[in-house]
Structure 1
Amino acid sequence: MIFGVLVVYAAVVSCGLPCFLRDASWSSRAPRLAVAMWLAAMISVVSVAALAAMLLFLPLHAIGDILVLLVQWCGWGDHSLTVSTRWTIPRTAGVVVGVAAALRLLHVAAAVAVAGRRSRVRHRHDVRLLGRFHPALSIYILDHADRSAFCLPGRSGGVVITEGALRALRPSELDAVIAHERAHLAGRHHLILTATAVLARAFPLVPLFGTGHEELRRLVELTADDSAARRSAPQVVAEAVLRLAAPPAPVLGMANTAVRQRVLRLLTADPPLSRPAVVGRGLIVAVLLLLPLVVTTVPALSDLGYHCV
């Protein structure tokens, strides 16, 4: 019963939520909340998949026994697990699917991590070779004619702006660009996009992961735009985006994702979500995170209470 509930839940969230959330107009008005919902949905599906595979291999009552043995605050320490060692078809399938998924995930994660590290090393080398540090602005200036601005995460990273961008931007626009890139660093957006890229590449047939990764690329830009708009006027941020997006289009940086939507959003200044709407969507995030845990731990907690009476 629990296994079927988990499978249905994972299917509904994986296939139904992307259609609902991708077309939701409120996500552009509350990008931070939308980022939280996408991430909560992905965490929920991954946890449900792991729990479903575990239930094929380990009976539900054994999960409660494990919880009891881990907690043991009730003094019940003379209990031993009673798990059958007979290899049934469901148990074998659970092990095979679980191990295959784990190996696939680890392989893709390693590939993405290596590629990301190589890219960061190459960019840092270019900055050290062709750039210089501007102490007043605390940024790196890259001697390149293209208009681009981007950030390099890590201890030796920071905000990088090309000479072409410096010549094109007014002082107020430059402040907005710097604030935008620092918002990416402060929000650890590179970690969010790396993790979701791993899921999208490892399991390309799951709509939640592929659509979610693309949406998160857009939403983190909107989030950084909002941070920059709090320092500068929204119109200034929009003008900075347009200047950096003018041909030739940059490969890296602030103005290479959803430019038209971002500019229109900054110029129209739609009202933020009402408090009830924020609370309601926050509850959805909480349900996505907690429901898989509740479904599997309620029987375990009942087992714990039974043994601690």
Structure 2
Amino acid sequence: MNAAPALLGYAAVVGFLAPQLMLRSTWPHRAPALAVVVWHGLAVSFTAALALAAYHLAVPTEHLHAGLVGLLHACGLSSSSSAPSADIADGLAIALPILVILLPLSLFAYELVRASRARSRHRRTLDMVGRRSSRLRATVLEHDLPAAYCLPGHSPRIVVSEGALRLLSDEQLDAVLEHERAHVAGRHHLPRAAAEAFARLFRRLPLARHAKEQTAILLEMIADDRAMRRHPREVLATAMYEMAAGKAPAGGFAVGGPTALVRMRRVLAAQRRPHVALRGSVAAAALLVPLLPLLVGCPPVVG
């Protein structure tokens, strides 16, 4: 039996229905780190389903053998035919799913390089116009508009403007800087680049579009949570209000921006984390989902 229809049906469920379930759930904003893992797990699962479906469409007739050889053939990693034409066909069939997997990986590398170059250009500008503050562990810009952002990755920088220094209290400033340090320490540019690469490849897919949007806001919430471990939520909320108009340069993260209003409401609402049973169930599902296409596309081998 050919598994392509089942794999394509599974990909449709993951690509179109799963994002709606995630968006309607309340737990992601209460456990943002776990939610980022789930969104990326869905993206991996969708890609794996497409890759295996491509193989099964190219090789509609399965010839399963016992043992390891049969399992490799079922997953598209070996061939049972010795005829040259069959070898060519099987080679093309294997190349197609590999291409499906390599495309998002290549775009991920492209997004990393593109963002890294943008941050490098901005760092060179900061070296010319900014001054280093050892007390703040940040670069200070002579600018009247309140702004604070970070440049993660290689040679990370945290940047704050003179306008922000004048506007914010000492405690508010510490909360803002802690928020930016969370982005740097968490290497948040990596999951963001992965989500952007997936969205670039599957532009019209709801999963890709929502994964990109939600990853961006969830990473900000993760940074908010770290800041709230050391500072009262009211302090962070008021600082976010003052800095809401601030924007980050390409490849950076800012405490303000378009997500500030949603995050301020979340910070002030003091929501409790999901129950440990729910977190455990979701974490298990996040680990299982990427493996489901393998269960469908690589059926058990009969001896």
Name 1:65's counterpart in structure 2: 69
SS of residue matched to 2:29: helix
Change (3 A) 1:242 1:281: same
Range 156-165 or range 230-239, more displaced: 156-165
2:72 paired with 1:82: no
Looking at structure 2, the residues matched to 224 and 251 of structure 1 have their Cα atoms a distance apart, in angstroms, of: 16
SS of residue matched to 1:13: helix
Conservation of the 8 A alpha-carbon contact between 1:56 and 1:93: no
Conservation of the 8 A alpha-carbon contact between 1:66 and 1:81: no
Name 1:21's counterpart in structure 2: 22
TM-score by length of 2: 0.83
Name 1:75's counterpart in structure 2: none
Give the unaligned 5+ runs of structure 1: 70-79
Name 1:33's counterpart in structure 2: 34
Change (3 A) 1:103 1:29: closer
Percent of aligned positions with the same letter in both sequences?
33
Name 2:251's counterpart in structure 1: none
Change (3 A) 1:294 1:163: same
Give the Å deviation of 1:216.
0.9
RMSD: 3.0
SS of residue matched to 2:204: coil
Conservation of the 8 A alpha-carbon contact between 1:181 and 1:254: yes
SS of residue matched to 1:262: helix
Letter of the aligned partner of 2:80 in structure 1? T
Give the unaligned 5+ runs of structure 2: 249-253
Aligned pair partner of 1:250 in 246, 253, 260: 246
TM-score by length of 1: 0.82
Letter of the aligned partner of 1:282 in structure 2? A
Give the Å deviation of 1:221.
0.8
Change (3 A) 1:116 1:183: same
Range 90-99 or range 259-268, more displaced: 90-99
Name 1:274's counterpart in structure 2: 275
Looking at structure 1, the residues matched to 195 and 172 of structure 2 have their Cα atoms a distance apart, in angstroms, of: 31
Change (3 A) 1:102 1:27: closer
Conservation of the 8 A alpha-carbon contact between 1:218 and 1:257: no
Give the Å deviation of 1:133.
1.7
Conservation of the 8 A alpha-carbon contact between 1:218 and 1:258: yes
Change (3 A) 1:212 1:106: closer
Letter of the aligned partner of 2:132 in structure 1? F
